[in-house]
Amino acid sequence: MLKDVTSPWGILLLIVLMGEVRRFSELRRMVGGVSEKMLSQTLKRLEAHGLVHRKSYGTVPPHVEYSLTPRGRILGERVEALADCIDTMLPDSLDARRPPLAQTRLS
């Protein structure tokens, strides 16, 4: 479960689904860079863990909606808080990674 939730796509999907019910095509647009295959696999894994609810309507073309289960919402809140914390710390982290300025010697 930890591997599936903490995968890059798992984290992003939990955050995106915090807002509301989403269709597959919406999720694909909102989580830029994810392939259809990877999105589908990640949603299936999160659903298997009881974190995502998949509702399929018997229409043509298929209409499928995804939302967080109560357990998924609890986890999503924590993942979202972690992402917010990282976002807040990012500027300082980037500064810390920069090499110190070369000091010049006075002759």
Q: pLDDT band at residue 95, thresholds of 50, 70 and 90?
A: confident
Q: Give every CB contact of residue 66 below 8 A, 6+ residues apart in sequence.
A: 17, 21, 22, 23, 24, 27, 43, 52, 53, 54, 55
Between CA 66 and CA 39 the distance in angstroms is 12
CATH fold for the domain made of 2-88: Arc Repressor Mutant, subunit A (1.10.10)
Does residue 105 carry a pLDDT above 70?
no
For residues 77 and 61, which has the higher predicted lDDT (pLDDT)? 77
In one-letter notation, the amino acid at residue 12 is L
Residue-wise pLDDT tens digits, 16-46: 999 899 999 999 999 988 999 999 999 999 9
Whole-model pTM over 0.85: no
* Domain segments of the chain as ranges: 2-88
Residue-wise pLDDT tens digits, 48-63: 999 999 999 988 888 9
